[in-house]
Amino acid sequence: MGLGCIFRENPPRPNWRRSGRSGCAVLLTSLFVTSTALSTPQVAGPSTQQTQPLTPNPTLDRAQALLQANRWQAAHDLLVPWLNTHPHAPDRDRAIYLLAEVYYENGDRIRAFYHLDELLDNHPESKLFFPALEFQYDIADAYLNGYKDTFLGMSILGRTDEAIEMLFRIQERSPGSPIAEKALKRTADYYFNDSEFDLAADAYESYIRAYPRSADIPQAKLRQAFSNLAQFRGPRFDATPLINARSQFKAIEVQYPELAAESNVPQWIDHIDADMAKKAYLVAEFYRNTGRPGGAVFMYRYVIQTYPNSTEAKMSQRELSRMPAWALRQAPPPPSNPEAAAQPLPAAPPETLPPPGSNQKKP
């Protein structure tokens, strides 16, 4: 990845991240300090020397050759003393990168990520800056794909929460860059595949807003719609996710007709309309069961008018025949259809009382 990327301004911290999650910086620092297997010195501050091109260095060349021969311990034993004695070397960034590879090969992916952070913090001008970000992405991606840290020789410690934090830090490091785009998309896809649909919907929304020209936008919009649909708990519950999903599916039909056909979007819209008809009918039943025939008549008519081909429309027609005449004389609901119904259900007008002396009684 080149250094000539066009960067956007730092985006606000998105609201789809889990609350209560400890910061990755605190976690990684804690793990680094408490671990005793391997150690390296800390640098007091960012290097003030310009990082030079990757020129030959006998010690670092030897460490790299050892790594390629899968002799990570020998590479470690070369790199740590060199880092101790060369705190301001122009190729110190290369040594840190190699040390991160040492820990990666040793299975200590968290510490590898930490040392890549050291490179990014102290050597922002390094030619290894973007390779380090890609390396960090690979570490996070492996954790999300099921990689587990070992304990007493057993793979038992998953790091999915830490991986999500890693991906967010990559976005903070290089906002608007291709690697930041990939990190946000990977986060959204992880939530979707893990059935955390509320977080997935928010993450896809952030992605669509931040990268509107991405080739992945059609798929992101489709998954956002499905994420909202999956949050609907049934006709007796809040219809907001259903309304949002319908609106998004309709936009996909217009913008990406081939994708809509491949994904059976029209059928999903029909499914949503059926749920909306059920919900409106339940509201009418509520009015009837609580002695408010005026509201019941209003909602029964709304169901018939808005969803004429639904089972609930037939049921509503039957119930209307049982309503008192005085309730049937009230004004009908305004004209509506499924497109206009993709919003909260209308409120029934104030209940009308039967005229004085009428023999009609409320049910």
pLDDT digit string (tens) for the chain, length 363 residues: 332 332 233 333 444 444 333 333 333 333 333 333 333 333 333 333 444 455 689 999 999 999 999 999 999 999 999 999 999 999 999 999 999 999 999 989 999 999 999 999 999 999 999 999 999 999 999 999 998 887 655 556 678 999 999 999 999 999 999 999 999 999 999 999 999 999 999 999 999 999 999 999 999 999 999 999 999 999 999 999 999 999 999 999 999 999 999 999 999 999 999 999 999 999 999 999 999 999 999 999 999 999 999 999 999 999 999 999 999 998 888 888 887 756 677 777 777 656 555 554 444
In a domain, 40, yes or no: no
* Residue bearing tokens 């007709």: 257
Shared domain check, 27 and 141: yes
* Dihedral (CA of 274, 280, 284, 287) sign: positive
Based on the domain organization, do 293 and 151 belong to the same domain? no
Predicted local confidence at residue 128, as pLDDT: 97
pLDDT at 344: 72
Under a CB-based contact definition with an 8 Å cutoff, are residues 100 and 135 in contact?
yes
Q: Kindly state whether residues 244 and 341 are assigned to the same domain.
A: no
Give the chain's radius of gyration (CA, Å).
Answer: 30
Which residues lie closer than 8 Å to 331 by C-beta, 6 or more apart?
349
pTM: 0.77
State how far the Cα of 12 lies from the Cα of 172, in Å rounded to an integer. 9
What's the pLDDT at 115? 97
* Residue after which a domain boundary falls, among 140, 173, 206: 173
163 in the same domain as 31 = yes
Residue-number span of the structural domain to which 71 is assigned: 23-35+56-173
Neighbours of 346 (CB within 10 A): 17
State whether 156 and 90 are in the same domain: yes
Torsion from C-alpha of 19, 25, 26, 28, nearest 10 degrees:
120
**Residues 27 and 142 placed together within one structural domain of the fold:** yes
What pLDDT does residue 19 have? 39
CATH of the domain at 212: 1.25.40.10
Q: Does 230 lie in the same domain as 112?
A: no
How far apart CA 110 and CA 329 sit, in angstroms, is: 72
Q: State residue 44's pLDDT score.
A: 34
Pair (93, 185) in one structural domain? no
- Cα–Cα nearest to 351, from 343, 362, 340, 359: 362
Tally the residues of the chain.
363
> Is 299 domain-assigned?
yes
* Residue 51 counted as domain residue: no
Output 213-217 pairs: Cβ under 8 A, ≥24 positions apart: 214/181, 214/185, 216/185
Is 250 among the domain residues? yes
Q: Which among 18, 9, 7, 3 is positioned nearest to 191, based on CA atoms?
A: 18
Shared-domain flag, residues 144 and 28? yes
Last residue of one domain, picked from the residues 228, 263, 298 = 263
* Chain CA centroid to CA 157, Å: 23
Judgement on whether residues 243 and 133 belong to the same structural domain of the protein: no
Which structure tokens are listed for 81? 């003393």
- Which contacts qualify for 183-189: CB closer than 8 Å, 24 or more apart? 183/137, 183/140, 184/210, 184/211, 185/214, 185/216, 185/220, 186/137, 186/140, 186/141, 186/144, 187/16, 188/220, 188/223, 189/223
CA 125 vs CA 7, 142, 342: distances in Å: 15, 27, 52
Q: Is residue 269 part of a domain?
A: no
Which of 107, 142, 173 finishes a domain?
173
Q: What letter would DSSP give residue 145?
A: T
Structurally, how many domains does the chain consist of?
Answer: 3
CA distances from residue 18 to 52, 139, 190 in whole angstroms, order as listed: 40, 20, 13
Q: Look at residue 122 and tell me if it is in a domain.
A: yes
- The answer to whether position 45 is within a domain reads no
How high is the pLDDT of residue 156?
63
What gap in Å lies between CA 175 and CA 5, rounded to an integer?
A: 10
Whether 29 and 140 map to the same domain: the answer is yes
128 occurs within a structural domain: yes
Q: Using CA atoms of 208, 213, 216, 222 in order, give the dihedral in degrees to the nearest 10.
A: 50
153 and 79 part of one domain: yes
